Amino acid sequence: MTAISVKVKGCSSPQRKPRPHFLEVLVRSLIILCTALSIVLSSIAVCDGNWLQTSGGRMFGLWHFCNMEAGATGTSAVLVGRDAGTAAGDLMVHGQAALGGPGASGDQRKPAVPNCTTQLGQSGVTGVEVGLGLCRFVVSLAVVAAIFGLELQVISQVSEGQDAARRWGLGSVLVLVAASMSASGVVVFVALLRGFASPMGFTLTFWCQFTAVFLFFLNGMAARHIHHMKVPAPPSGILGKC
């Protein structure tokens, strides 16, 4: 009788909660780190906004349109309010500059100065104001969704039970939503300016956004895969044994 009571007492002891494997913890940490890197890349791309520069000196961005204009030459100064003697002396200096004389050093062309405006309709592209407005809206909203998803993933690592699983799953969904919204913004930008787009014309910030889209997608899919993974149950003969 004593042996039976001892056996029942031993069987009633609570089982220890299995600790997560080292590989799972490492993969989750890498997903969180890569998601944070994606947010940084996308934030830089959105804040800078200059994504396309054409060979004609025009730059298209999410927030403004720039047109590079060359400065005036040193010999094109207008002679106003001077007497005849001063004007004649200036003409001699200009003539020496044209012949390569001592005055030639003063005839240097000024560097191009960007003329930027927030009125995107001045670029001459049909529907560019509405299209780029939609593009910057979805890309900015994607960054916000990714930040909330990253926060939920981080919080899930310090919580336990079903709450941790729900937070991780919701965070991975938000990262996938951020990937789809970022990809939509990039597609709208390229489709709107397809007449000017070229691989060499896209700036570094555009490629930062392009990289962030892939990182959002890969991290979201990896997080969803880990969320749906199930630990294999032990054989039925072992269950219930003490």
Order of strands, edge to edge, in the sheet holding 58-61? 50-53, 58-61, 65-69, 113-117
pLDDT value at position 230? 53
Rounded distance between C-alpha atoms, residue 148 and residue 141, angstroms: 11
Q: Measuring CA to CA, which residue among 220, 227, 123 is closest to residue 180?
A: 220
pLDDT value at position 111? 59
**What burial class does residue 83 get, using C-beta atoms within 10 Å of its C-beta: 0-12 exposed, 13-18 middle, 19+ buried?**
exposed
Q: Measuring CA to CA, which residue among 31, 52, 75 is closest to residue 216?
A: 31
Helix or strand holding residue 131 (H, E): helix 128-156
In the block, tokens 């959002």 appear at: 216
Rounded distance between C-alpha atoms, residue 163 and residue 226, angstroms: 15
pLDDT value at position 161? 76
Say if residues 52 and 193 touch (Cβ distance below 8 Å).
yes
Q: Measuring CA to CA, which residue among 25, 36, 16 is closest to residue 226?
A: 25
Domain boundaries along the sequence of the chain: 22-65+125-228, 72-106
Instruction: Please state the pTM of the whole predicted model.
Output: 0.68
In the block, tokens 């009788």 appear at: 1
pLDDT value at position 110? 57
Say if residues 182 and 142 touch (Cβ distance below 8 Å).
yes
Q: Measuring CA to CA, which residue among 64, 62, 47, 45 is closest to residue 114?
A: 64
Domain 22-65+125-228 -> CATH class: mainly alpha
Q: Which residues, 6+ apart, have CB-to-CB distance to 15 below 8 Å?
A: none
pLDDT in tens, 68-100: 765 433 333 333 344 434 434 443 444 444 444
pLDDT value at position 34? 94
Say which amino acid occupies 138: V
The ranges of the chain with pLDDT < 70 are 1-20, 69-114, 123, 230-242
Say if residues 45 and 206 touch (Cβ distance below 8 Å).
yes
